[in-house]
Amino acid sequence: MAATGERGMVHLWPLQGQTKGSAPKVPGGRIDRLVFSDDGAHLAAASSAGLFVIDANPAIAVKQLVDSRAASHVAISARYAVAFDRLHRALRAWEIETARELAPLSTEPLTDPAFDASGTFIAAKQQDARGNGSIRVWALPDWREQGKLPIKGSSSFALGPQGRLIAMEVFESSGDKGTNTHYIDVYEAAGNRRVARIPGGEEVRIAFHPGGETLFLVAENEVRIFDPGTGKLRASLRHEQDVDKLRMSPERDVLATLSRGSVYVWNYATGELLTQLVGDDYFQDMRFAGNGRYLLTGSRDHTAVLWLWKPEDLREEACRRLNRNLTAAEWARHLGAMPYEKSCPNVKADAK
């Protein structure tokens, strides 16, 4: 199942079979994020009105976890939803599958909460009364603290799987000229030991692969892939225009990038471009679905489209619809000088 959100409506779409699913209404005008639970039966939604859990089974039910006036700085994962309660100065968390609230964690104000790939470890930035900043990491459900790393300013960061590593943007003064040199430092959360330093730049976006063995840096028109344990560059994916978004597939070594309205799917281990989707209505976001078999795109014209993108799946679907092999003339017209072969070897009927 896939989900899309627009103007307070969350649309649930089956990946096969019927073409349109259910559309429960969530209070608030803007849907900021949607995440399915591990069991696929529940959906966490962050909207301008607060946090919600939606039962995705046929009997649709929507439950509000917290009002946005009571809590801010929201993060959601496949297991938990987290928000900072300004009034009580506490970090609150809920289980997605049960909507049960955990015991809150009393703490000073926090910003930019972010989960790891497992959805059970969370990091957030904090600043004390003297202006000293840090990134703190906890394990849910018991708020067991995993580490606390000092930071300067509003550095961006990413939390690695199981809360083990943190990659953060840092800068160091370059002497009397007043310029700064930017880096991405990778630290062990427990022990504050730096394991790698990677040359960076301003406004770099950082993401870990869910397996933890790869670190992605997005800067302008380039995606650079590193080994987070050594800082060694593995590959670079260059685009003609700036890269707006990066999404990882559940399949090994596959990711999608969004650049100026077009979607590119890569094997990032080899640097090979696997396919490209060019939308007449300008793609604004994309996600993998169905264990990586599909790509779900959202366009500027407020439409969502589910795509088969793998050549073997496209061929199978074409053969299912055509139910015959291409003729020699059709082969020559579409595939040029390539030697003729049966395009759909499993069908019995051939075109005359």
Q: What is the mean pLDDT of each run of 10 residues along the chain (352 residues)?
A: 76 65 71 84 85 77 84 90 91 92 92 93 85 89 93 81 92 69 90 89 86 91 93 93 93 93 93 85 86 88 85 78 78 71 70 48
CA-angle at 32, arms to 84 and 299, nearest 5°: 165
Which of 104, 123, 158 marks a domain boundary? 104
Q: For residue 259, tell me if it sits in a domain.
A: no
Residue 265: the pLDDT is 95
Q: For residue 66, tell me if it sits in a domain.
A: yes
Which of 69, 85, 104 marks a domain boundary? 104
Residue 282: the pLDDT is 87
Q: For residue 352, tell me if it sits in a domain.
A: yes
Residue 333: the pLDDT is 75
Q: How far is residue 307's CA from residue 320's CA, in Å, rounded to a whole number?
A: 16
Q: Are 288 and 307 in contact (CB under 8 A)?
A: no
Return the structure tokens found at 172.
Answer: 């160091």
Q: For residue 78, tell me if it sits in a domain.
A: yes
The strand pairing partners of 62, in sequence order, are 54
Return the structure tokens found at 25.
Answer: 């209404």
264 Cβ partners below 8 Å, 6+ apart?
A: 237, 239, 256, 257, 258, 273, 275, 276, 277
Enclosing domain of residue 73? 1-104
Using the structure block, give the residue that is written with the tokens 């801010």: 72
Q: For residue 144, tell me if it sits in a domain.
A: no
Phi then psi for residue 115, to 5 deg, are -90, 160
Which of 72, 104, 136 marks a domain boundary? 104
Q: How far is residue 306's CA from residue 11's CA, in Å, rounded to a whole number?
A: 13
- The alpha carbon of 40 is separated from its chain's Cα centroid by a whole number of angstroms, namely 17
Q: For residue 57, tell me if it sits in a domain.
A: yes
| Radius of gyration from C-alpha coordinates of the chain | 23
Tell me how many domains the chain contains: 2
Q: For residue 6, tell me if it sits in a domain.
A: yes
Q: For residue 206, tell me if it sits in a domain.
A: no
166 Cβ partners below 8 Å, 6+ apart?
A: 123, 135, 137, 147, 149, 157, 158, 159, 160, 186, 187, 189
CA-angle at 313, arms to 311 and 314, nearest 5°: 65
